[in-house]
A and B are shown apart, each in its own frame.
Chain A
């Protein structure tokens, strides 16, 4: 099956610094990738939709200036958490769908293994 990787798998940073998380589709191309955040014992919350070659679409309540998303190629999307604070500590997960597949909802999404961010 299709593989999505994330790097790093975990990161610890100091409050006020920025952290970049990479999401790569390894064996397929993706025009659209998605970023989620998951707090302990909670469900995944969609943060934004990353579109190759254009601006990301953010969900309501997600600060676009704090969570910068760049989708520069068909296999790479990055999420940068700027000026991170302890409340940004979370499990960040990306997903992607194979652009060769049927559009809309009749397709499966492939998820990365997640990146655990701890801000001290």
Chain B
């Protein structure tokens, strides 16, 4: 499994954009990059995933570096409900297992 490095914590203000970085320099060519988040006392929630191209959905955008050694999850306008631990998880193409690291705890200030 590719190793990931994420900041332990980040802070943002409500209604401002948030850029959550993830370094995955050991990623292989067939690894998908997944992002999940976990609100307190809840199960994780899928956010977004991609392989090479940048991806957008209703929750967030995923910007993947050209060399794929890093990616950035972008929340365009943070809300208080976005306060959670965000996990960046590379998954091998043929695998189905999610291996969670420590993630980034995002605090959103009103």
Contact = CB atoms under 8 A, between A and B. Distances in A.
B92 A111 contact: no
A49 B98 contact: no
Interface residues of A, number: 27
Contact of B95 (A6, A45, A105): A105
Range of interface residues on B (Cβ < 8 Å): 20 to 34
B7 to A, nearest CB: 15
Instruction: Please provide the 10 A-B residue pairs with the shortest distance between their CB atoms, ordered closest to farther.
Output: A111-B43, A105-B91, A105-B32, A108-B46, A44-B100, A43-B100, A93-B43, A111-B44, A114-B43, A104-B94
Interface of B: 30-32, 34, 36, 38, 41-46, 49, 51, 87, 91-103
29 contacts: A6-B43, A34-B97, A34-B98, A43-B100, A43-B101, A43-B103, A44-B100, A46-B99, A46-B100, A93-B44, A94-B43, A95-B43, A95-B44, A105-B31, A105-B49, A105-B91, A105-B93, A105-B94, A105-B95, A106-B32, A108-B46, A109-B36, A109-B98, A111-B36, A111-B44, A111-B45, A113-B43, A114-B42, A114-B43
